Amino acid sequence: MTTRGPLRLEIFPDADAVALHAARLVAAAARDAVTARGGFTLAVSGGRTPWALLRALATEDVPWAAVSLFQVDERVAPEGDPDRTWTHVRASLLDRVPLPAAQAHPMDVCDPDLTAAAARYAATLAATAGSPPALDLVLLGLGDDGHTASLVPGDPVLDVRDADVAATGSYREHRRLTLTFPALDRARRVLWIVTGPEKAPMLRRLLDADATIPAGRVRPDRACVLADAAAARDVTR
């Protein structure tokens, strides 16, 4: 393990190794949270490595009856659309584990009133994870432009401080719902999953807590970064 500023970094040979290790960490965090507080709240992001993580998590020892699953963000697209993160969450995890349906919480991006949908999702978070909500674990990715969740450069959502969930403008052909910085910063633990050579420049900036990129504005002291060797190439030189 490497420490760079306030962030801890673990480097693995490839994305598959990152996914497997992350799944073990999530499963252990779930068991610990259930022992300590009687439940575990997890918010997941999309992407190839996170979906591999979820498939691996389905094989781990997880107390699913006490787990509540949330989304970090979601694209506005029809239910079942391959652009929807939840479509892949269902295929990678929910179809494989005995998580009670009432404890799986997709973002309602089919509501044309995204502001109302965001408020409802925030209320569900509060009802499950406390008021204000503190998620046990949040899985975050890192975009090649420095975004995380759907907190993208230049979007007014970056400055939202009075809501835990908000709607974004259009980004790469989709509007989105996303957790905001206040919701992310209250999480008990954040696990960054960063893979691929295209992420290398931004990983270095994330580790330096560079606040000029959205990812660099996420609270670092409760976070750990799992990266593959390709993403970490600029850090290890």
Q: Assign residue 55 the CATH number of its domain.
A: 3.40.50.1360
Q: Is residue 195 part of a domain?
A: no
Q: Is residue 119 part of a domain?
A: yes
Predicted confidence at residue 173, as pLDDT, reads 79
Q: Is residue 221 part of a domain?
A: no
Predicted confidence at residue 172, as pLDDT, reads 79
Terminal-to-terminal C-alpha distance of the chain: 16
What pTM did the predictor assign? 0.95
Predicted confidence at residue 200, as pLDDT, reads 97
Residues in contact with 214: Cβ distance below 8 Å, sequence separation at least 6, in sequence order? 146, 147, 148, 151, 152, 153, 158
Q: Is residue 96 part of a domain?
A: yes
Predicted confidence at residue 237, as pLDDT, reads 56
Q: Is residue 9 part of a domain?
A: yes
Q: Is residue 138 part of a domain?
A: yes
Q: Quote the number of domains for the chain.
A: 1
The tens digit of pLDDT for each residue in 154-168 reads 999 999 999 999 999
What is the spatial distance between Cα 222 and Cα 219, in angstroms, rounded to a whole number?
7
The tens digit of pLDDT for each residue in 166-189 reads 999 988 778 999 999 999 999 999
Question: Per DSSP, which regions of 143-198 are E strands?
Answer: 165-167, 176-179, 190-194
Residues in contact with 69: Cβ distance below 8 Å, sequence separation at least 6, in sequence order? 42, 43, 44, 89, 93, 94, 99, 103, 104, 105
Predicted confidence at residue 236, as pLDDT, reads 67
Predicted confidence at residue 4, as pLDDT, reads 53
Q: What are 232's two structure tokens?
A: 């970490």
Predicted confidence at residue 5, as pLDDT, reads 55
Q: Is residue 198 part of a domain?
A: no
Predicted confidence at residue 2, as pLDDT, reads 54
Predicted confidence at residue 116, as pLDDT, reads 97
- Containing structural domain, residue 58: 2-190
Regions of the chain where pLDDT drops below 70: 1-5, 236-237
Q: Is residue 233 part of a domain?
A: no
